[in-house]
Chain A
Amino acid sequence: MAGPRRLAAGTILALAAATLPGAARAQVSETEVKAAFLPRFARYVTWPTYQRPAAGQPFMVCVVGADPFGSALDRAAAGQSVDGHRVAVRRINGGETGGCHIAFVQGSKTQPTGQLLAALDARPVLTVTDARAGAQRGIIHFAVVSGRVRFFIDEKEAARKSLGINSRLLALAVGVRPR
């Protein structure tokens, strides 16, 4: 993504970072932030027991279809651990989506997002889509609102897939479709 990949901190940035803890005032690319969100969703979602990773196994974040993240997602996942599980990233183009816990889904003109979503329909997978890529929505749908990365949450669809969504995540949504 547009990511500032070589962000060795320059003087100005270092200063900015030093004076502004946490979210630096300086801007980050939209894609980097979306990539940072993806592995973190695992903390705020509960899967049915049979779908949870076994001990020592990672939570699997899958990118189904087009990959807008590149290495940003791998970097974002590398630092995360959820309930003692690592977070791993897999890219799937036409293959099996069996092991996925979270699936970022983005289609193309010839294979629309809706179709890729429908292929995941029966599984307890947290589907994530991006408004930038189209109108079809997964359970979480990224949108940029007032210059920030936010999302819509479809709690009804989550419930249908036996997923529970933590209220802390729901509170951040710009819109929630209730159960």
Chain B
Amino acid sequence: MRTTLVLAAVSAATCVSTACPALAAEAVPAADLIPAAAAAADPNDLADLSIEQLADIPVTSASKRAEPLSAAPASLFVITAEDIEQSGALSLPGALRLAPNLDVQQADASQFAISARGFNGLQAGNKLLALIDGRSIYTPLASSIFWNLHQPMLEDIQQIEVISGPGGTLYGPNAVNGVISITTRDAQDTIGTLARGTVGTNSYTLAARHGFAIGTAGAVRIYGNWMTRNGLATPATGFDVDDDYTGFQAGFRADFGGEKDHVTLQGDLLKTDIDTGSGDGAKAHNLLGRWEHTLGPSASVQVQGYYDRFERKFNLAEDMVQTFDGEAQVNLASGRHELVAGAGVRTTDDEFINNLNIFQLVPTSRRLWVYNAFLQDRIALSGTLAVTAGVKVERSTFSGWQFLPNLRFAWQPTPEHLLWAAVSRAVRTPSRIDRQLQALPLLAPAPSFDSEKLTAFEIGYRGEPAKDFSLSLTAFANRYDDIRTTEFTGDPFPIMLRNGYRGWTWGVEAWGSAQVTRWWRAGFGLATLKKDLEIKEGRVDLARRNALGNDPKWQIRAHSHFDLAPRLELTLNGRAVGRIDMDPEIGGYAEVDGRLAYQANEAIELFVAGRNMLHQTHVEHNDPGATQLARRSFYAGARLRI
């Protein structure tokens, strides 16, 4: 893994890539904003029901339109629990395919590269931050996210917010090109028992949870999620990877709350095995506590701390990262002002042992620190116009104090329409790989490797231009500087990582959703990307633009959800992805995922689903030694709720 980065960079790559184990693998795209209300009783009829009858009506989840339009002036797409269920996704990357502002590339049975606004790749994808219930899953070892280390039970997820563009002041470090914020349900909302099993051509899953109340103001749930996935086929010219994958994640969440306080305690335990060799796989666990306290009508505080540890083994390479994080946030409201201020400190302790080849981190083990503080004020200039100004300062072991301001305007002339514009600055701080990877005499450590910098300009519209039709449009121009290069520094060796690229990217993101008929909801999504990044004068990149990622110029999503009958629904998610220019080039592809579900009775739901139904195989990603062919697959399953 770590090694992969530079191995590829130096084109000395052999395999190793799978060392970045990762998991799961189904494909699930689509863009739906407003989950269809299922074929339904006329809501006007609700007026005649008693409260007991109201409390006994099976419901579909609230829609995207339930999202307050006044939410952050940013390119924000929300994936609801209902979207995930209807899509038939069985893993987080599968669910993330629903966001039209994300590019999800499957590398093998367990590894995914996910990015927003470009720079995608198993190694290059280092500009996207992801959080699960406020816990960062971005690793400072390699500046990437190992998606296969995170296998929550998807039924526990309340929603996934996907912001493309800098996350502004409110998220942690490295929210450069986007932020994915996954929140799970309050334990008080998962009382009861739920079980789900699927059997398919490519995978099996089994998951269950049980939630119960503790006293009158608290609840706990426990869950277990097991899955196994067949390895994928190898491209004709490629390198065979035994990527069969088996694993489980189990955990709990407890919530206790009164009128002024809310306390959450949660933790997860993960173990996975990959078929590459004996003992290959990953182990991870985490524990998080959060306390939210309301001080009064205009003030509240939130304090959170967590511990997180993972270790992975592939072949003769092993890595481990242990994280402690503490943060506090205060919200104040006064007159026209809504103020958010906070601070956090995070320390990581890592280790990388590589007996496979000469690439080493020096020192092998290291403790890193990141400190940040932020302040943001949203000022209502008038009833319809608001400005949000924020600044975050951040310091890490590998960088001095960084100043990260952002300024956002929101104009909401009517509740149905929001126009916004933003300018913001973000940085990706150096990782251990950037600074301390060494393979003498070939590669020398780079103690002067600096942060990669972004200034982002965005404008957007979000609203409901017509009844039952929601729309979001965003255009962005990103100016990057000091993006990573691999350069000669000696005569000619050793080589070293440096900050040699700069330039611009542009693009548009659009999505919308409409209730076309009572029984048909349709949605679309579009994202384009144009990259114009150049190497600085007199510099050479030996990694052949590897750090710039391999991105399609465009991708399109289409979504349809049909309520065929009161208990029968069909969901189709199609995606078309443009060609990726690289050597060798990856041709574009189009695929469709679908799910047909039948609610047999109040407790039992039966469903069949297909992934990548149009073709036997296709290629989504090109990583030396890692890429396998994404494959058509089908599964059948049942879900039981008691």
Contacts and interface: CB of A to CB of B under 8 A. Distances in A.
Q: Do A and B bind each other?
A: yes
Interface of A: 1-10, 12-13, 16-17, 22-33, 35-37, 40, 44, 65-68, 70, 72, 75-76, 79-80, 94, 106, 108-112, 114-119, 121, 131-132, 135-138, 141, 143-150, 152, 154, 157, 168-169, 172, 174-178
Contact of B61 (A6, A25, A30, A175): A30
B366 interface: no
B615 interface: no
Contact of A9 (B42, B70, B295, B517): B42
Contacts of A66: 68, 70
Given A10-B519, A25-B567, A28-B40, A40 B192 contact: no
Contact of B65 (A12, A65, A70): A70
B59 interface: yes
B38 A26 contact: yes
Given A2-B63, A108-B71, A111-B331, A23 B40 contact: no
A16 B62 contact: no
A6 B518 contact: yes
Interface of B: 34-47, 49, 51-68, 70-72, 158, 170, 185-186, 188-189, 191-192, 213, 216-217, 219, 255, 257-260, 262, 264, 292-300, 331, 333, 338, 340, 376, 378, 380, 388, 415, 467-468, 515, 517-519, 565-567, 602, 641-642
B602 A147 contact: yes
A165 to B, nearest CB: 12
A117 B259 contact: yes
Contacts of B65: 1-2, 70
Contacts of B44: 75, 79
A66 B34 CA distance: 18
Closest 3 pairs between A and B when the two form their complex, measured CB to CB: A2-B63, A114-B294, A66-B68
Given A115-B294, A177-B216, 16 more contacts: A1-B65, A2-B60, A3-B37, A4-B36, A5-B467, A17-B45, A28-B38, A29-B59, A29-B62, A30-B62, A75-B43, A109-B340, A110-B376, A115-B297, A135-B292, A176-B216
A169 B331 CA distance: 34
Given A12-B565, A110-B340, A147-B602, A115 B298 contact: yes
Contacts of B380: 94
A138 to B, nearest CB: 8
A147 B641 contact: yes
B222 to A, nearest CB: 17
Given A13-B39, A28-B37, A2 B566 contact: no
A144 to B, nearest CB: 7
Contacts of A28: 37-38, 40-41, 43, 46, 57-60
A36 B259 contact: no
Contacts of B298: 115, 118-119
Contacts of B602: 146-147
Contact of A26 (B39, B68, B299): B39
Contacts of A114: 260, 292-294, 300
Contacts of B300: 112, 114-115
Contacts of B566: 12-13, 16, 24-27
Nearest to B467: A5
Contacts of A109: 71-72, 170, 340
- Best-surrounded residue of B39, B64, B415 (most CB of chain A within 10 A): B39
A97 to B, nearest CB: 11
24 contacts: A1-B62, A4-B518, A13-B40, A16-B566, A17-B45, A23-B54, A24-B41, A26-B41, A27-B39, A29-B37, A30-B61, A32-B37, A32-B46, A33-B59, A68-B67, A112-B292, A114-B260, A118-B298, A131-B189, A141-B188, A143-B186, A148-B57, A168-B52, A172-B55
A21 B54 CA distance: 13
Nearest to A176: B216
Contacts of A144: 59, 61, 189
A136 B49 contact: no
Given A7-B43, A36-B47, A108-B68, A148 B36 contact: no
A121 B43 contact: no
A33 B60 CA distance: 10
Contacts of B170: 109
B68 A68 contact: yes
A149 B57 contact: yes
B61 A135 contact: no
B54 to A, nearest CB: 6
A115 B333 contact: yes
